[in-house]
Structure 1
Amino acid sequence: MLRGSCHCGAVKFEFREKPEWLTECNCSACRRYGTVWAHGSPENVTVKSDPDATFRYVWGDKDLEFHTCKTCGNTTHWAPTDPNGDRMAVNTRLVPAEDVKDIRVRHFDGADTWRFVD
């Protein structure tokens, strides 16, 4: 299990599966956020926060929403906009480094080819 939180602690998450790899994406949003994602099923992720603790950012094809803490500004996770969506991700930069140090980081070209480039 991976546990993380934003800097101020207003948003906490648990990722209840060990990811095979983490993803660093170079799309226009992820590159700016500086995120490294652990992707998984929403059934295996719990986000704990007050309902108004984050603001949501939706753009492009509007399939997902990025969540950022309103207090400290950390991007914590993204979730599908479709309630039946089967993927979401948490930002592992908010997890203790020792908990992810042995998990491979793959590089995803979200800016152009939509393929892994490693």
Structure 2
Amino acid sequence: MQATYQGSCHCGNTRFEVDMELDHVRSCDCSVCRRRGALMHRVPTQALRLHTPLSALTTYVWHTGTAKDYFCPECGILPFRRPSAPSKDELAAGMQPFSGWAVNVRCLEGADLDAIPVRRIAGSKLP
């Protein structure tokens, strides 16, 4: 069932709301995600409404340079990101490009993390 969630970083300087059907989260095993511990859920661009402008956040870009991770400059929490573009191998395997947001479900008020199925993503296997 679709719901609207309020979200924030730890210190509250970064605030947003998002409409989603929280039917799963994604847990990636790449070097960044494994250390970060975020549980992500992808949503279309229009589903995320920022109450803090992107210009007030810190951005981290790595590996292929196509993903953008947004962090609160005060507490360092990643509330959302723009996922990377699929590699040639992923496109050849049938993965579809995605242009929306990935929201860190750990930053959402009222999300029952124990009740949400986890999809494992093998990011460590990407070239």
TM-score bracket for this pair, using the shorter chain length? 0.7 to 0.9
Task: Work out the percentage of aligned pairs sharing the same amino acid.
Answer: 28
Supply the distance in 2 between the matched residues of 1:51 and 1:78 (Cα, whole angstroms).
11
Supply the distance in 1 between the matched residues of 2:54 and 2:108 (Cα, whole angstroms).
22
1:49 alignment counterpart: 52
Q: Which runs of 4+ in 1 moved over 6 A?
A: none
* Amino acid paired to 1:64: A
Unaligned runs of 5+ in 2: 86-97
Alpha-carbon contact 2:82-2:99 (below 8 Å) kept:
no
Unaligned runs of 5+ in 1: none
Which one has the bigger helix percentage?
2
Alpha-carbon contact 1:19-1:39 (below 8 Å) kept:
no
Larger Rg: 2
How many residue pairs match? The answer is 111
Supply the distance in 2 between the matched residues of 1:24 and 1:51 (Cα, whole angstroms).
24
Show CA shifts across 1:13-32 (max 9, x none). Answer: 21212133111111111112
Task: Give secondary structure in 2 for the equivalent of 1:93.
Answer: helix
TM-score (norm 1): 0.80
Tell me whether 1:20 sits opposite 2:5 in the alignment: no
Task: Give secondary structure in 2 for the equivalent of 1:99.
Answer: coil
